Amino acid sequence: MKQTIQKFLTDEELRLIEEKVKEAETSTSGEIVVMAVAESSNYPSAIMAASGAIALVLALAGTLGYGSENLWLFLALFALFFMALNEAVKRFPVLKRPFVNREEIAEEVEEAAIRAFYYHKVHETRDRTGILIHISLYEHSVRVLADTGIDAVVGKQAWQGVVKTITNSIRDERPGEGIASAVEQCGKLLSRHFPRKPDDTNELSDAVILG
């Protein structure tokens, strides 16, 4: 999954987004942080379920292939396949997707976004005007989290257009362009409610965080 996140945005796209963040923040006291992660969780229960299900089929096939109903042979094959598949599923997350439900994905993405919000100190700006654009590739999910100073004025519904811009751009395989456009949208929205103050400083990094 590390390779996935490294290939998600080119160096040129990363620079474009960073410049758009800098540009957007020239007209607002808000702070915009963009973060993209390969996945919000490794879904350990799904890894176990996928490994067990595939190992069960292979062990049964292997046992019957020898014309045997030997329980010990089945158990030995199952254990070997399970151990091998456990590593394979970790390397190829697509194998566990059928074992992850939508509710679990929604919960994990939300929790990951909230952890990132606090870990990267988006909540520590002077006027509580930080926002986090959190993009989770495996889950095909985008969350925009705003600090209390913004939420009290803007509200969560205002970010739906930002989310749609990014998800559409990822679907169309132009993520850099879409994220840059979403940052511009955020800047315009923030500037209306939180114009830049004479003593404003850049409190958070403008660079895209890759995790």
pLDDT averaged over 10-residue windows placed end to end, the chain, 211 residues? 77 96 96 96 94 94 76 90 94 90 94 97 94 96 94 85 95 95 96 93 95 85
CATH value at residue 28: 3.10.310.50
The tokens for 91 are 């390397």
Predicted confidence at residue 67, as pLDDT, reads 65
Give the residue from 115, 124, 185, 118 showing the smallest Cα distance to 149: 124
The tokens for 141 are 């999910």
User: Which of 57, 78, 99 is the C-terminal boundary of a domain?
Assistant: 99
Instruction: Identify the three-state secondary structure at position 196.
Output: coil
91 with 107, same domain? no
178 with 167, same domain? yes
Which domain range does residue 60 map to?
A: 44-99
Instruction: Identify the three-state secondary structure at position 2.
Output: helix
Q: 207 Cβ partners below 8 Å, 6+ apart?
A: 14, 18
Cα angle for residues 147, 112, 166 (degrees, 5° grid): 75
Q: At what angle do helices 175-193 and 11-24 cross, to 10 degrees?
A: 10
How many domains are there within the chain? 2
